[in-house]
Structure 1
Amino acid sequence: MSTHRFLRRALVVSATLGATGLATAGIASAHVTADVYGSQPEQGGYGAIVLRVPNEEEQAGTVKVEVTIPAEYAISSARTKPVPGWKAEVTKNDVVSKITWTAQPGNEIPAGTTSYQEFAFTAGPLPEDVDTLVLPAAQTYSDGTVANWNQEAKGDEEPEHPAPTVELAQPSGDGHGHGASAEQASAESEGSAHAEDTAPATSDTTARWLGGAGLAVGALGVGFGVGATLRARKQGRS
């Protein structure tokens, strides 16, 4: 094999390794999710939930986000954490049915696939007979397109547009279950603000490191291969 052909093949391998690492990191966070940064919400108590919304359209930004609270959960109270540049509205008829965030002009989640926004809220009392909250979400783009994240998983297979979900813990009696209040849940959300800011950055840094590591491994392979080839050629001349 000639040196030039070897170099081309090695460069293809290294590029594939790096691209695979970066692509995997992107796929893992491609849909709207519901996250918990503080204590896990408990059945019968109040919980702090963070809706993470990535933009997925190259030519349009996200201008509205809606999360539906199923009526059977009978959640009577919900509060939103202010998001600069966004207006929040809680829809309630006896029970909370929907929370809507609307971007003010110039504050939408930017077009492209590299930006996201988080929307935190507290809700309760949470249902006592449900293990997993399913919170269908709708994401509206500036071009009028609406992405509905409302499909429930069946078995271990994840649907194409999965609804955000939150696992509920059994009541522990330590203040996060039946006795927890909306104020306590809100305080937990505020107390975990630092985690909200740093967790995504850590995830992004890890993804970049993995991609860089793939490229580095490929580059090392190129270096070793070229060195071995040159030594073999030199010995052949001798």
Structure 2
Amino acid sequence: MSSASASTRNISRVCVAGGIAASALLLLAGPASAHVSVQPQGEAAKGGYATINFKVPNERDDSATVKVEVNFPADHPLASVMPQPVAGWDIKVTKDKLAKPLKMHGNTITEAVSKVTWTATGGKTGPGIGAGQFQQFPLSVGQLPEDADQLVFKALQTYDNKEVVRWIEEPKEGAEEPESPAPVLKLTAATGDEHGATDKATAETDAKQADADRDTASASTSAASADSSDTTARVLGIIGIVIGVGGVAYGVLAGRRRGNA
């Protein structure tokens, strides 16, 4: 056997082994990347409201996803959670009492949403999310916390064969992604378009209205004072005329009396 043939065979073996290893890596990476995730439509700014989508892919070739449960963080409760209807799915919003009531827009909130559950109802193409498909579940949420950079939602994905996949592991910064990561919503800094800006604009409008009311009141007072002065002048004028007429009449009568005398 020539040295050239041996070298060729060795190179072939290395290439085959490398291909197998690369395929294995792709197979391992595939399922890890296809997990339940959450993304905002636009931005999710601190202290504001946002519309968010939970994206649920089906990872099984022989089963359909028929139920999705999303648990909300208890350390940053959200008082307002409104689901958008999704065709072919029933939606249930679960609320729990708060250990510490929240203040929102001057109101006291004693309960917050703890879980939202979507359950497939079926359809012409079969119930739930089929193989090679995904489904988005939109929610309007708020008021987002001002003292957090992210919100972690733990999710459960149930297949029609009763298998439950728990997406509940919280990712750690600087660490590798866990095998079953929980959906994480990144929060951005307030942009000025949130309720803080609205409150400021409302306060400025109220201040302008108060100034206008004061100007109106001042004008009314001045007008009333002017009217009062005019009325007093008229009364004094009339009294003066009456006194003058009385004086003239008295003088005429006195003159007649002296003439008769």
Tell me the distance in 2 between the aligned counterparts of 1:72 and 1:12: 52
Q: 1:66-115 deviations in whole A, cap 9, x for unaligned?
A: 1011222121111112211111121123101111111012331114xx22
Cα distance in 1 between the residues matched to 2:197 and 2:169: 30
Change (3 A) 1:24 1:140: closer
Q: TM-score of the superposition, structure 1-length normalised? A: 0.62
Distance across 2 between alignment mates of 1:103 and 1:33: 19
Distance in 2 (alpha carbons) for counterparts of 1:179 and 1:95:
24
Question: Could you say which residue in structure 2 is the equivalent of 1:226?
Answer: none
Aligned partner (choices 78, 81, 96) of residue 75 of structure 1: 78
Q: CA deviation at 1:174?
A: 1.8
Q: Whose Rg is larger?
A: 2
1:117 equivalent in structure 2: 135
1:175-190 to 2 correspondences below 5 Å: 175=194, 179=198
Listed one character per residue, the Cα deviations across residues 43-65 of structure 1 (whole Å, up to 9, x for unaligned) are 11111111111112232211000
Aligned pair in 2 of structure 1 residues 88, 31: CA closer, same or farther (>3 Å)? same
Aligned to 1:168: 187
Question: TM-score, with normalisation over the residues of structure 2?
Answer: 0.57
Corresponding position of 2:128: 108
State the distance in 1 between where 2:143 and 2:192 align: 14
2:165 to 122, 134, 147: 147
What 5-or-longer segments of structure 2 have no aligned partner?
97-110, 200-261
- Answer yes or no: is 1:89 the counterpart of 2:108: no
Asked whether 1:156 is paired with 2:160, we answer no
Whole-Å Cα distance in 2 between the matches of residues 134 and 79 of structure 1? 18
For 2:24 and 2:137, how far apart are their aligned partners in 1? 30
Partner in structure 2 of residue 193 of structure 1: none
Change (3 A) 1:177 1:110: farther
| Paired positions, count | 177
> Are the aligned partners of 1:42 and 1:177 in contact in 2 as well (CA < 8 Å)?
no
Q: Residues 31 and 59 of structure 2 are in contact (CA less than 8 Å); yes or no, is this contact kept in structure 1?
A: no
Listed one character per residue, the Cα deviations across residues 180-231 of structure 1 (whole Å, up to 9, x for unaligned) are 9xxxxxxxxxxxxxxxxxxxxxxxxxxxxxxxxxxxxxxxxxxxxxxxxxxx
* Contact 1:46-1:177 at 8 Å conserved across structures: no
In structure 1, C-alpha distance between the alignment counterparts of 2:91 and 2:196, rounded to whole Å: 26
> Separation in 1 of the partners of 2:77 and 2:180?
25
Q: Is the 8 A contact 1:153 1:159 kept in 2?
A: yes
Distance in 2, Cα, partners of 1:120 & 1:178: 26
**Structure 1: which 5+ residue stretches go unaligned?**
181-238
In the alignment, the residues of structure 2 paired with residue 22 and residue 159 of structure 1 have an alpha-carbon distance, to the nearest angstrom, of 17
Do 1:61 and 1:108's aligned partners in 2 also have CA atoms closer than 8 Å?
A: yes
SS in structure 2 opposite 1:160? coil
SS in structure 2 at match of 1:72: coil
